[in-house]
Structures are given as structure tokens and as C-alpha cells.
Amino acid sequence: MKEKILKLKAEVLDEVAESFKRVDEVAEFNTQKVLDAMRELKVSDAHFKTSTGYAYGDIGREKLEELYAKIFKAESALVRTQFVSGTHALATVLFGILRPNDEMISLTGAPYDTMQTVISNGKGSLKEFGVIYREIDLTQTENYFDEIKNSITPKTKLALIQKSRGYSTRKTLTIDDIEKICAAVKAVNPNCVIFVDNCYGEFVERREPIEAGADIIAGSLIKNIGGGLAPTGGYIVGKKDLVELASYRLTAPGMGGELGASLGTPRLLYQGLFLAPHVTAQALKGAIFAAGIFSRLGYKVFPATKDLRGDIIQAVELNCAEKLIAFCQAIQKFSPVDSYAVPEAWEMPGYEDKVIMAAGTFVQGASIELSADGPLREPYAVYLQGGLTFEHAQIAILAAAENLVNA
């Protein structure tokens, strides 16, 4: 058994050498981008001091937001630990911009599970406030970009694009895809706000969605951009007027981004941002390695081993609940934290089906750390992501492979 796995590992490492080289090149490019921004904006020790109370004029908070804006090539940014999660940051954008009778459309099908509650299924959802919602899922169709033109009207206030696949096996969008979608939308309605859910997408490519024509984007700090160090939080970057509207929803109308204490977090957010291009590369290597291993074991993997990637997620279709559970239990067992815990499927708030999650992480639920999860529904796909170091990802992935072979 052991020998078979070691042979598999060697074969896959050989197969992925070219892909790993591409990942390293992107990491170097993005490290340069972050470093240049930090040098230009003169980040210093003074910016790491904590603030309390209302925190008016917090220079650490202001500098960090300038830094995010610069890195994302945006006019303005909100980077806050007051966002409890990525969903919260995304919801803040939607509630900040949309008004009763406004029409929004999702151009990438049903959004991430927790966003469905925000938009239409939940108490206090946008729908309850009279926002009109439609979705189209044409990412699989050949003339996707033409179809988009037909679905946008002069009345469409906001178009949502989710870069990552989320809990589906649709294709993850690349920045080039996003650029084409933005052009198609703006050709029909130049005033339509294009909002990209950028979760898991940061630093995977050389460009970010604002550079491809998006007006505003949001994501979580406990994914790629926090570099594994951010303890919590979310970010929004984009056009100044739009970020301002979101800021009134984060705090209160009139207050916006002028307040918000950092409570001891600044150095972790700066240092995490500095590490983020490298950590993202580690996670990407884990994903590519997993694709290589599980495709050789006969499972369908999305993306395929050598595909161009737009996010850090690797989906593996396991086709059976027991295998999904066995996979997640192996990942948990080979985690640095809570390795003795045995994950089980449960009704998680905000999710439609039962979900099983393996996350033995230093920051609770941080999915830039090695984690695996999946909803208990056909095709029993497991979504693997993260890994602060490729070495760790490799150990745990091989353990999961062994578990599947034995199951």
C-alpha cells in the first residue's frame, strides 16, 4: 500500500512540475506588486498600533485601506475586522447599493449557498426589501458572452459575478473571462454596477477583477488575502462612491468608514497581506497535486491537473457519501489543530443541504488553511482548499488517498 502511494506521489510530482513553475512565477509577480505598494505608501511600525473606541483618524486602518486600493488598482477600499465573514462583506455591498425595485442579476447561476440566504431565501433578505432578482447560468454554453447581452436590460442595476466555483462543479472564471463578461454587460448598460465575489480568487492570477472592468469586489480575510495570519474580517474595494455606499451599511449612514477600532489586529493584517501571494501559491500547489493524485485514482476532478486556474479550490467527485466522509476525516486527522476530532455532516446555518467540514485550523474555519468540505448531495464532490505550506497539503492529501483506496 505505502509503496503504491509513494509511486503515485512521484509520478504526480513529475507531471505537475510545469504547472508549479507557472504558480511560482505568479507568486513572484504578486509579491512584487504587494512589496512595491508597501514601499510606495511607506508602511511603518507606527501603522501597526492598535486603536480603540470610535477610532477616528486611525492611521493604521487608513494606510491598510490605501494599500488594498493600490494593490487592487481601485479607487477606494474598506478592510475591516468588523466584517464577520466574506458573506457579511458581500451582503454589505448589495445592501449598500441596491434600493427597493432595483433589479439585480447573477450572471454565474445560483450563487454560493450563504449568498442565497442574503438575496432571496432568508429573513431580512434583499427580496424582503423589494429587490428584484434573476439569475442565468450560461457558463457552460458556447455563446455565453452573447447570451449575457440578452439578459441585461437598461434597468439592470447590478450584475453579480462569482469568480470561484463555490459548491458546484461549474468552471471557475479566469480574469480574462471576467473581462469579457464586463465588456458584454457594459456594452448593453454602461451604468450597470458589476460586482465580483472574489472569494478564493486573490493572487491566483496576475490581475484582479477591477483591472478587468469590475466596479466593486469583495472577499474574506480568512481566505487568500489574509495570508493565514488575519484572525477575521473582510474587504471591499472598488469605485469610491460605491465603496462609500457600502460603508454606510457596515456602520451607519453618515458614519461610514471613518470609525472602527482595530483592537490589536493591524500587524496581522499587514503581515498576512505581505505573505498572501506566497501562501496562495502553496495552496494552489496543493490543489494541483490533489488533482493529479485523485484523477490517477479514477475520480473526476475539477479543474483538471493542468488546467489554468482562477481560484484555489479543487473539487473531486467521489460519488458516494461514505467516501466524502472518509476523505474529510483523513484531512482532519492530518491537521495541526484538533487532529483527534472526527468530523460529521451537520445542518450548518446558511446552507441548504447537510455539510461535512474538515478544518483543523489555527484560525477557526479559515479556508486558506488546509480544509475540505462538501454538501451531502450528488455527486458527493469534496472541495479541497488551502494549505499554508505545500508540504502539509501533500501529507494530508496522500492520507486521504490512502483512506479512499481502503474504503
Nearest distance from C-beta of residue 19 to ligand PLP, angstroms:
22
Tell which one of 82, 162, 265, 282 touches ligand PLP (CB under 6 A).
162
Residues 6+ away with beta carbon under 8 Å from 194: 158, 159, 161, 181, 182, 185, 186, 213, 214, 215, 216
Task: Name which position in 48, 72, 95, 112 contacts ligand PLP (CB under 6 A).
Answer: 112
81 is a site residue for ligand PLP (CB under 6 A): no
Stretch touching ligand PLP by CB under 6 A, among 4-12, 159-167, 169-177, 235-243: 159-167
Cβ atoms of 312 and 384 closer than 8 Å: no
Given candidates 30, 51, 82, 87, which one binds ligand PLP under the rule CB under 6 A? 87
- By CB under 6 A, is residue 114 in contact with ligand PLP? yes
Considering the rule CB under 6 A, would residue 139 count as an interface residue with ligand PLP?
no
Nearer to ligand PLP, 164 or 282 (CB): 164
Residue of 199, 229, 281, 345 interacting with ligand PLP (CB under 6 A) = 199
- Determine, following the binding rule CB under 6 A, whether residue 197 of this chain makes contact with ligand PLP: yes
Q: Which is nearer to ligand PLP, 60 or 303 (CB)?
A: 303
Burial (CB < 10 A; 0-12, 13-18, 19+), residue 101, is exposed
CB of 207 to ligand PLP, least distance (A): 18
CB of 166 to ligand PLP, least distance (A): 4
User: Computed from CA positions of residues 217, 302, 104, 96, in that sequence, does the dihedral angle turn out positive or negative?
Assistant: negative
- Nearest distance, CB of residue 186 and ligand PLP, angstroms: 23
Closer by beta carbon to ligand PLP, 95 or else 112: 112
Among 19, 117, 164, 174, the residue binding ligand PLP under the rule CB under 6 A is 164
Q: How would you classify the pairing of strands 355-358 and 371-375? A: antiparallel
| Binders of ligand PLP in range 88-107 (CB under 6 A) | 90
Nearer to ligand PLP, 16 or 372 (CB): 372
Contact footprint for ligand PLP (CB under 6 A) = 85-87, 90, 112, 114-115, 162, 164, 166, 197, 199-200, 220
